[in-house]
Structure 1
Amino acid sequence: MLFNSLDFAVFLPIVFVLYWFVFNRNLRSQNFLVVATSYVFYGWWDWRFLGLIAFSTLVDFIVGIQLEKSENIRIRKSLLVFSLLVNIGFLGFFKYYNFFLDNFITAFTFFGMPIKANSLNIILPVGISFYTFQTMSYSIDVYRKRLVATKDFIAFSAFVSFFPQLVAGPIERATNLLPQFFKERKFEYLLATDGLRQILWGVFKKVVIADNCAEFANIIFNNSTDYQGSTLLLGALFFTFQIYGDFSGYSDIAIGTARLFGFNLMQNFAFPYFSRDMAEFWRRWHISLTTWFRDYVYIPLGGSKGGKIQQIRNVFIIFLISGFWHGANWTFVAWGALNALYFIPLLLFAKNRQNLQIVAIDKKLPSFKELITILGTFGLTMLSWIFFRAEDMNHALSYIGGIFSHDAFTIPDFSSFPGAITLLILILGFISVEWKGRFGQYGIYGLQSISNKTYRWAMYLIIILIIDIFGNTSEEIEFIYFQF
């Protein structure tokens, strides 16, 4: 079920009414409703994969209990390994089986030993990369004794399948989300209105920014050999805002929806395109995933401790894994490697933590130096997104080569893209709103503090009108990260 669909527009109010007015007698009833409605939400795509998420839930629930009971280090390690093998095994089979098989065949053929093997017609379950990481973090935290294992299967199932963030995050930690299923939840008007406000902004990002950018980005990327360098640069720019509007828009809707039911999810995006270096960018982009890799991969490898060679190794490992997590294609690995190359100089010169606060504190505009560093970081990010969007490595390299051709400084072919200039104006307005609201949890977070109710509601109405006039609402376009 898509957030930007009529189905969800009907589904959400029904669940809301049932949650607060029918199943509000006790926590267990509400948690049971969360599980039931989450399975309906997930099964809307393909009910056959409900067994997969149920099995993953059962495995980690049992593993957690057994970890809690045992003090034997060998048994505890075996239980953790079992949990990791099950979850990574599911992820590896559904997401990477054909990738490894095809590359295995290619490698043997290259060395003169051709082999025959058939690929499988595997359907990738929606959200598998997200909920497997969420359940793995639970088992790891129980193993590390940072969390007490729960014996309430309903509450644990609700934690794993919580429908607002089930298919595309944020990837919640059990230490944050799971305890919320054991606390009494009372309807809070201010929390609910804040949730609706964030949902509105998420919908704007998705249907006005992301979906309109997608229309032009798809045409340019799919026919890249037909366009000059400046038009290719325009396509890269549109995709840069498409992926941000699409993914952060999903996170906003997810976080806002969770607030309607009395839950607080972690912030997943903190205005990353205002970053002054790539280290800051990665502290602000897909925060739930980057912190997951930091805590469960990077730090166990040694993190930034040890010699420079070890530090460089750890950075490359974390970025390559991050790239591979996104998809079974060498373009994602290249995307991860490129970001590692961006990051390493900052690490080596101890500059990776120089920009911990949001830019231009107590100022309306950035300084000239800040503006240059923001634009430079944005340019590097946009270049890396080309690998993320390209069909394969040849496509990515030819696309980049086209950008840096002799006609890169010509005027883009706007005549072939009616509406592109209007979209650029909308993007500038979007950037302005995000800049003004950069100290809050999301772009229009600050509207809640405006005491003038008429002005506040006028702003909401303007956003709704823009969504109605410029929003790409003629079709239900899936979120990019559903494929991951």
Structure 2
Amino acid sequence: MVFSSLYFLFLYLPVVLLAYYVTPLKWRNAVLLLFNLIFYGWGEPKYILIMFASIAIDYTHGMLVTRCKAKGNDRGARMAVASSVIFNLALLFFFKYWDFLAQSLAAVGLPFMPVLNIRLPIGISFYTFQTMSYTIDVYRGDARCQRNVITFSTFVTLFPQLIAGPIIKYKDLDDQLEHRTHSPEQFASGVQVFVVGLAKKVLLANNLGMLWDAYKAMPVSELTTAGAWLGIVAFSLQLYFDFSGYSDMAIGLGRMLGFEFIPNFNYPYISKSITEFWRRWHMSLGTWFREYLYIPLGGNRVSKPRLLFNLLVVWAATGIWHGASWNFLIWGLYFAVLLIVEKFFLLQYLKRLPAALQHLYALFFVLVSWAIFAVEDFSHMGAYLGAMFGMAQGGLADPAFGYYLRSYGLTLLVGCVASLPLGAGLWRRLRERPRLVLLPILVLAGLLFSTAYLVDATYNPFLYFRF
């Protein structure tokens, strides 16, 4: 089940909210846990067993870490943390990377690993990271051990951010799991954020996705330079509105239930460098890798060769986290190289350039990165990148480019404007009374238009669903 579906909007969500708010406070986590499991098991009930295993391992290991530390047995505590990390990574490796590795080895003449055709459990990349960080934080003293298994299970299975983030660390929700507050103002704010995310996903991402699909499926012989750039601009906006829209919906749902989640995007396409881009894009993932991989490796307080190694490891991991395919690893290393170059010398020169040139620099390299990210087949990727740089077999432009530009021009323009903080700035400048009048009208319009689209449309992909 996804948030941008009629079943979720008009069946699951109303039932959850009604049951949640008629339940006494002390039982609300138990009720929420039940609905979390229904949400996760909607499409694949058997994978609930995997989630139960993850909950059991990290719950018991958190207890074990606490017990060892209380007895002064730091070695035992570290072994418990290591055991938890190994289990979570093994779980993620088996379901996400086994077949990828088996097929890669077979391709080079080493077919000793069987291809199992394993179906990827929804959201496994997100919830394994969340549960793994819990045990580490208990060991570090950054989070207390949760002894109530219902409360801990509610954290792991929390449906608003279960399948696509933001990646929430236990220490960020510890107090909220047991002492969260509820108010009409908070609920109303949640509805507003949710509808904004829904509109971004349904009205913008879905429509832009159809343009990208047309260019991705286009034969190499027909691809033009202008068309390749138009397609990748469409994909860049689709991915942003798809993922940030889903994050907004998650944050909005959390507020409806009394939770406050961390933001996941902060207008990344206004960045003036790649370094700034990654401070604004998928911020919860960047924070996770910084806290649990980059800093433990030594961070930037090491020699230059070791710093290069640390950055390469972190960005290789960031790339492969996104998917079991070589293009994701290349995509991660592509950013590693750009960030290393910026860190060692380029940033100081970039800052001397006019702001417009800084923006163009960042946007250019980000758009190139999305071509690597989006096209998994190497031969097609090479042809697509070549087309972007003037080596298109179809020439500079063709009638199809003009047709798609006319058909999607308005949607692209709206998407470009909506990816900037202009709207938010104008909204803040309005006086309070006009805002009070306009807000419910805009929220209702967003819900109605999104619903109308979902009723009529058959195209409703979710790009991060597979992660």
TM norm. shorter chain > 0.5 = yes
1:397: which partner in 2? 382
Cα distance change on mapping 1:409 and 1:48 into 2, 3 Å: same
Structure 2 CA distance for aligned equivalents of residues 177 and 16 of structure 1: 20
Residue 283 of structure 2 corresponds to residue 287 of structure 1: yes
One-letter code aligned to 2:54: S
One-letter code aligned to 1:428: L
Residue 151 of structure 2 corresponds to residue 155 of structure 1: yes
String of CA shifts for 1:65-95, please: whole Å, max 9, x gaps: 1111113122112111111111111100000
Instruction: Report the CA distance between 1:101 and its aligned residue.
Output: 1.4
String of CA shifts for 1:165-215, please: whole Å, max 9, x gaps: 0001001011111321110533x1221111111111111111122111111
Alignment partner of 2:203 out of 190, 204, 208? 208
Cα distance change on mapping 1:421 and 1:178 into 2, 3 Å: farther
Cα distance change on mapping 1:368 and 1:326 into 2, 3 Å: same
Structure 1 CA distance for aligned equivalents of residues 180 and 442 of structure 2: 34
2:20: which partner in 1? 19
Instruction: Report the CA distance between 1:139 and its aligned residue.
Output: 0.6
Structure 2 CA distance for aligned equivalents of residues 294 and 36 of structure 1: 33
Secondary structure of 1:70's match? helix
Instruction: Point out where structure 1 has 5 or more consecutive residues left out of the alignment.
Output: 356-366
1:363: which partner in 2? none
Cα distance change on mapping 1:115 and 1:13 into 2, 3 Å: closer
1:97: which partner in 2? 98
String of CA shifts for 1:356-398, please: whole Å, max 9, x gaps: xxxxxxxxxxx99222222221111110011111122222122
Instruction: Point out where structure 2 has 5 or more consecutive residues left out of the alignment.
Output: none
1:53: which partner in 2? 51
Secondary structure of 2:433's match? coil
Moved more, 319-328 or 452-461: 452-461
Cα distance change on mapping 1:392 and 1:194 into 2, 3 Å: same
TM-score (norm: length of structure 2) = 0.91
Residue 250 of structure 2 corresponds to residue 254 of structure 1: yes
Contact 1:216/1:417 (<8 A) preserved: no
2:38: which partner in 1? 40
Contact 1:217/1:236 (<8 A) preserved: yes
Cα distance change on mapping 1:468 and 1:53 into 2, 3 Å: closer
Cα distance change on mapping 1:368 and 1:470 into 2, 3 Å: farther
Cα distance change on mapping 1:463 and 1:423 into 2, 3 Å: farther
Structure 2 CA distance for aligned equivalents of residues 289 and 181 of structure 1: 22
One-letter code aligned to 2:365: L
One-letter code aligned to 2:202: V
Task: Show the 5 A alignment for 1:134-153.
Answer: 134-153=130-149
One-letter code aligned to 2:216: F
Identity rate of aligned residues, in percent? 32
Instruction: Report the CA distance between 1:267 and its aligned residue.
Output: 0.2
1:374: which partner in 2? 359
Structure 1 CA distance for aligned equivalents of residues 395 and 319 of structure 2: 31
Contact 2:269/2:420 (<8 A) preserved: no
2:261: which partner in 1? 265
Moved more, 334-343 or 385-394: 385-394
Contact 2:99/2:115 (<8 A) preserved: yes
One-letter code aligned to 1:483: R
String of CA shifts for 1:121-173, please: whole Å, max 9, x gaps: 21100000000000001011011111110101111000000000000100101
One-letter code aligned to 2:81: L
Structure 2 CA distance for aligned equivalents of residues 250 and 197 of structure 1: 14
Root mean square deviation of aligned Cα: 2.6
Higher helix share: 2
Structure 1 CA distance for aligned equivalents of residues 76 and 219 of structure 2: 55
Structure 2 CA distance for aligned equivalents of residues 123 and 171 of structure 1: 22
Structure 1 CA distance for aligned equivalents of residues 34 and 429 of structure 2: 35
Structure 1 CA distance for aligned equivalents of residues 322 and 295 of structure 2: 21
2:234: which partner in 1? 238
Secondary structure of 2:333's match? helix
One-letter code aligned to 2:264: N
How many residues align structurally?
460
Moved more, 6-15 or 453-462: 453-462
Secondary structure of 1:301's match? coil
Instruction: Report the CA distance between 1:298 and its aligned residue.
Output: 0.4
Instruction: Report the CA distance between 1:48 and its aligned residue.
Output: 0.2
Contact 2:326/2:376 (<8 A) preserved: no
Residue 329 of structure 2 corresponds to residue 333 of structure 1: yes
Contact 1:224/1:232 (<8 A) preserved: no
